[in-house]
Amino acid sequence: MSDFVPFALPEIGEEEIAEVVDSLRSGWITTGPKTRRFEDQFREFLGHSDLHTVAVNSATAGLHLALEALGIGPGDEVITTTHTFTATAEVVRYLGADPVFVDIDPATYCIDPEAVSSAIGSRTKAIIPVHYAGLPCDMSRLCDIAAASGLHIVEDAAHAFPAAWDGRLIGTLGTSATVFSFYATKTIATGEGGMLITRDEGLASRARVMRLHGIDRDAFDRYSSRRANWYYEVVAPGFKYNMTDLAASLGIHQLRRARSFLERRTQLAARYDAALGDLPVELPPRPCAGSGHAWHLYVIRLTDRAPVGRDDLVRRMFDCGIGCSVHYIPLHQQPYWRDRYHLSADQFPCSQKLYERGVSLPLYTKMDDAAQDRVISALRSILC
């Protein structure tokens, strides 16, 4: 249908297109000068010169590199939430370690710090909190828990750019690492891509080596020199996780618009708030004082008074020409995780309830008020 309102849509401007064309004409289409430029500008955006920024081809890659650099391996356990995309947990299995799943806090939809505290055991080495929908986790409590037990925190911030906790941008909190996603639906988009952030120089150095086959020098260093510079050494069995200059070309200009993108997302969220407050739904959780929401997702949860169930609502919205989604089918419902770790829904009642009743409404910067009004009108016609 030509007037379909999609669930998400990236906003790509002429500046991004021109930058990609410039990269194509330059000959640098893999990791090169624009990837470094994007890394440098991302560090400048975060406002801390002591941060290391490592561009990668996905947030999954960034999480894997961070855990690998921290020495996570067979016999170790990493605590994370069941209410996330499978990538958060699969990177733990890549390393032969085991994820330990805990429930979410029903007030935030983020990982429950008290459940984290209760799950810590002798094999626990790290925590991966997920900043769900763009709302930061309770990082003060989680950092206290981690410090008391000598644990690493690797933040899954795929939804959380540029969110803030207690007045500080996510990525600057002093955790072992933070990983952002620039997938096509995210708050800034490079198609595929991500950024690993850390203050640990050793971790950053290891991640840079491991993102490109364990080679001690990247292609830009080897091929941009005017001297014979072909020699390199493989110092570890690495991966193929490097960001390309084509993706970085998009990122450079997406980053420049990040604040205006956030402003528009915040406006759209406020319009939803004003229009949906009298419906039989729970509106999305709000950040606490001093913190900021990235508004990657706008997730409503049906109440007992709703005249339709979640599946029927999504279907009827689609029939109205509107794309909705569900975030997420929790990992305790997924066959691999359920069967390997003997998980069941009654272990995670808060996540299960959000799954059964949660709907993500369209939210993207190219959405104009008229398109959002269509979403609101359709939702009201179904739920009133």
Annotated active-site positions, please?
186
Helix (H) or strand (E) segment spanning residue 168: strand 168-169
Omega within 30 of 0 (cis) for the link into 162: yes
- Please report how the helices 369-383 and 258-276 are oriented relative to each other, as an axis angle in degrees rounded to 10: 30
CA neighbor of 367 nearest in space, from 358, 359, 356, 376: 376
Residues 157 and 84: their CA atoms lie apart, in Å, by 11
DSSP single-letter state for residue 290: T
Residues 291 and 268: their CA atoms lie apart, in Å, by 19
What is the DSSP annotation of 193-226?
Answer: -EEEEES-HHHHHHHHHHTBTTBSS-HHHHHH-S
Three-point CA angle 291, 157, 43, nearest 5°: 85
Cα torsion through 137, 140, 146, 148, rounded to 10: -150
DSSP single-letter state for residue 78: E
Q: Are 117 and 94 in contact (CB under 8 A)?
A: no
Residues 205 and 54: their CA atoms lie apart, in Å, by 9
